[in-house]
Amino acid sequence: MQNREIEELRRRVVELDALEKRNREMAEALRKSEEYLARAQRIAHLGYWERNVETGRMNWSEECYRIFGVARKELTREEFLKGIHPDDQEAVRRARREALDEGKLYETEYRVLWPDGTTRVIHSQGEVSYDETGRPVSLFGTVMDITGQRQVEKALRESEERYRRIFENAPVGIFQSTPEGRYLSVNPALARMYGYGFPEEMVSSVTSIPKQVYVDPEEHRRIIAKTLDRPGWGHYENRYRRKDGTVMRANLAIRKQLNPDGTVAYLEGFVEDITERKQAEEKMASLLRFQNEMLDTDAIWIDTLDPEGNITFWNRGAENISGYSRQEALGNKKIWEWLYADPDARANIFRRAMDSIHQSKRSQNYETTIRRKDGESRVISWYSSRLMDEEGGIIGSIVLGADITERKQAEEKMVSLQEQLRQSQKMEAIGQLAGGIAHDFNNLLTVIKGYSELSLGQLKNEDPLTGNVKEILAAANRASDLTRQLLVFSRRQVLDFR
């Protein structure tokens, strides 16, 4: 009997040990479950609460206190409402009334104010528990801190609004299209660019981008093939046709957008009208060609000097006139010695060139005689002007030279001819004067000779006056010879009456 009792006692002890072990295991499982639940609530920012309808007392989970930013304590409904943003308190009351009075699901979103002034956004939902008579006894629900979610949503809305403003107001064209060539959307800038009144008109009117927009439809095919074949942006310059048929030049940036499964969702891109810019570039290129042709003319010597007097530009005219090539002249100060062999003349001319850069603000005109590479001397007329950069700093000078050797020679010859003409005119005047005097004097001599001959005819040889008259007649004849010579000088002749 005693042994059976002992065995029964041992069996009961074993059962109690097993029961205690199961209780410990269940308690540990419950603790872990509560721990996991708390961790899950903390990670998800999700708490649970229960409110006694009759007493108004609130029972919160640990996460609820963290979500509301308050210390753990027993809360009443009034204390709970104090933590809610004043503008949201009525919405919370309304949701509670509708749940209790009308049986609706309790669900609301409101802001709570933390003691430090921080505002958090809360989403709460719950359900009513009833007793056996159908009377509501409690309201059980959850709260979730959705501040981050709302911030993300706000940022997304702001981002979408920024994109919309950019899309609507961008100065460049923006579009989305299908790979086959239909516009899905275009912004106002692109519609205006192609001559359409508004984006919807362009989307509905353009049914084939390659045929209606591209001047060369094959170019559209090539661009789309490249876009679909590689990731990222592709950049192209192309010609496009406006609604009125005119052609414009534009830059296109285009890429593909993919669906989650990797298929192409649509193409998107930017279009920049560069027609005016290309026209300006072509005009500038033409002007530059004209400028280069003008600067590299054969007729005018053009060179530029840096502030130290080194040659920095040497055109074909300078090569032709001086005989020295561009390679020989650029950066070589020996050119001054080659052009001006006389040291004094060279120093004077170099000093004048430096003065035109560093001293004189006015352009200078002067002449020098250079020695060509072949030793020939040439006279050059120079025009020199200072060169300045955009900030007003001195960067050198530009010098234009014209070979005036032939002109100087022609001027010297003209001076000689003019002198000869003056001498000829002077001799002609003298001849005219001499001819006039000789003519008048010859008239007087004719009278003297006539009367002398008449007198000799009346005088006898022995008459003392005969010798005198003969001397007069001889002197008159000599005078006649002299006047005849004067008339020859004046290119005038008279009849000889002898």
CATH of the domain at 440: 1.10.287.130
In a domain, 257, yes or no: yes
pLDDT band at 44 (very low <50, low <70, confident <90, very high): low
Q: Which amino acid is at 73?
A: K
Interval 172-176 mean pLDDT = 93
Range of the domain at 345: 298-403
Three-class DSSP category at 176: strand
Residue 32 confidence (pLDDT)? 65
Rounded to whole angstroms, the Cα distance separating 391 from 402 reads 31
CATH of the domain at 62: 3.30.450.20
Rounded to whole angstroms, the Cα distance separating 410 from 414 reads 6
In a domain, 391, yes or no: yes
Q: What is the pLDDT of residues 84-93, one digit of tens each?
A: 899 999 998 8
Tell whether the model's pLDDT for residue 227 goes beyond 90. Answer: yes
Contact 380, 403 (CB under 8 A): yes
- 399 with 430, same domain: the answer is no
Interval 377-388 mean pLDDT = 90
Better-scored residue on pLDDT, 13 or 162: 162
Q: Token pair of 264, please? A: 């192409």
Tell whether the model's pLDDT for residue 31 goes beyond 90. Answer: no
Tell whether the model's pLDDT for residue 42 goes beyond 60. Answer: no
Better-scored residue on pLDDT, 378 or 8: 378
pLDDT band at 498 (very low <50, low <70, confident <90, very high): very low
Sheet order of strands, 377-388 included = 311-314, 301-305, 394-403, 377-388, 364-371
Q: What is the pLDDT of residues 296-327, one digit of tens each?
A: 777 789 888 999 989 999 989 999 999 999 99
Residue 466: Cβ-neighbour burial (10 angstroms; 0-12, 13-18, 19+): middle
- 259 with 329, same domain: the answer is no
- In this structure, the number of other CB atoms found within 10 A of the CB of residue 343 comes to 9
Contact 385, 356 (CB under 8 A): yes
Residue 495 confidence (pLDDT)? 40
Residue 123 confidence (pLDDT)? 92
What pTM, to 2 d.p., does this model score?
0.45
How many structural domains are present in the chain? 5
Tokens 């708390």, residue? 38
399-403 contacts: CB < 8 A, separation 24 or more? 399/301, 399/302, 399/303, 399/304, 399/305, 399/353, 400/300, 400/301, 400/302, 401/300, 401/301, 401/302, 401/303, 401/317, 401/318, 401/321, 402/299, 402/300, 402/301, 403/301, 403/321, 403/378, 403/379
Q: Which residues make Cβ contacts (< 8 Å) with residue 437, sequence separation at least 6?
A: 486
Residue 38 confidence (pLDDT)? 57
- 54 with 123, same domain: the answer is yes
